[in-house]
Amino acid sequence: MEADRDVRHALVVGAGIGGLAAALALGRTGWRVTVLERAAAIGEIGAGIQLSPNGVRVLSALGVLDRLLPTTFRPEAVEMRLGRSGRRVFRVELAETAVRRWGAPYLHVHRSDLLEALRAGTAGGGLDITLLTGSAVRGYAQDPRGVTAVLDSGRRIAGSLLVGADGIHSAIRERMLGAGEPRFTGHVAWRVTVPVERLGGDAPPPTACLWVGERRHAVTYRLRGGTLANLVAVVERDAWRGESWTERGTRRDALADFAGWHPTVTTALREAETHFRWALFDREPLETWVDGRVALLGDACHPMLPYLAQGATMALEDAWVLADRLAHTDDVPRALRSYAAARLPRTARVQAGSRENGQRFHREGRFAHVPLWFLGKLAPRVYHRRLDWLYGHRVP
């Protein structure tokens, strides 16, 4: 075991969005942080992310928003269209409303750009943060004085706190709670990005646009100042094995799943060079996220279906609250219990809302989307008010 008598040394397992945000938040409150990442390098993983104002406020408080802004895109509105005809169901203004109502903009960003902004933040400002790649953690051991991360290599690294931010296949969660079985939702998502210049008149509108149809839906939006189109297209399946962000499918299969749909959707699928296929699994909220000096964060404890676009944002909120609870005490277990008590009810509500939206988007029948049309077309203030609990929530 590597000796470490520093009472404020945090071990963060995972260098994804949640892990890097946690490292940065802890570092800014005086903690020495070691980030342990399984991958040999942090690459361009994933595609687009929608960041609602509650997450953008955290990035601002962490000091990385100014660095990130040049790579983002601010949608004019949120809208719904019929998947085959493209007919607009509703449009609700978002750009100025978000800042005025919730105190920060609504942004679209490429996952790799967000990761790079967070990584750059951990490397600057005189913070004591070390990133160790190629360091897969298989478990941990602890006693009243501290906690030790146990690596696959046999190396053991000691600290006073361990944060499991190691994603949906979390080794830390499995060590803490056992191997839980996820439930396949019946939904599989295609994810592609395409330069806008290759799409011509079929480029997606400058909005967060939901395209709905029977047993399938799609979401389009723009990234990187509007130069890159992002598409997530979800179709129902009876069965699936495996849960991965990086499984690849074929252009032919993607186009077959959305045959007859609007050219904005099909052109993006046709022009994309790589088609990632993501089977969506669901998990019930965990009873606890904490074991002594060990806490879970982000997808490791509350993996989100994408239908409220809150996965990354909930991880950012987690990171801020975790660091805040630890900022003024040396009683790590007590601070971690306070963190979990604050976060578990909110993330459980978001998980439930995401699940409900997934069912709502795939309703069948001619009049299936009339309630959403009424909400968006006739009562935009009601639409905004229904999001106040989510976008207006303040942790910084």
Q: Which residues are annotated as catalytic?
A: 221
In the block, tokens 């040396």 appear at 330
Q: At 381, list the tokens.
A: 């203030």
- What 3-state class would DSSP assign to 9? strand
For 144-181, letters b (16+ CB in 10 Å) and e give eebbbbbbeeeeebbbbbbbbbbbbebbbbbbbbeeee
Among 26, 16, 78, 90, smallest CA distance to 53 is for 78
Rounded (10°) angle between helices 311-326 and 332-361: 170
Distance separating alpha carbons of residues 79 and 243, to the nearest angstrom: 30
- What 3-state class would DSSP assign to 29? coil
Q: Are 217 and 83 in contact (CB under 8 A)?
A: yes
Q: What are the φ/ψ torsions at residue 130 (nearest 5 degrees)?
A: -120, 130
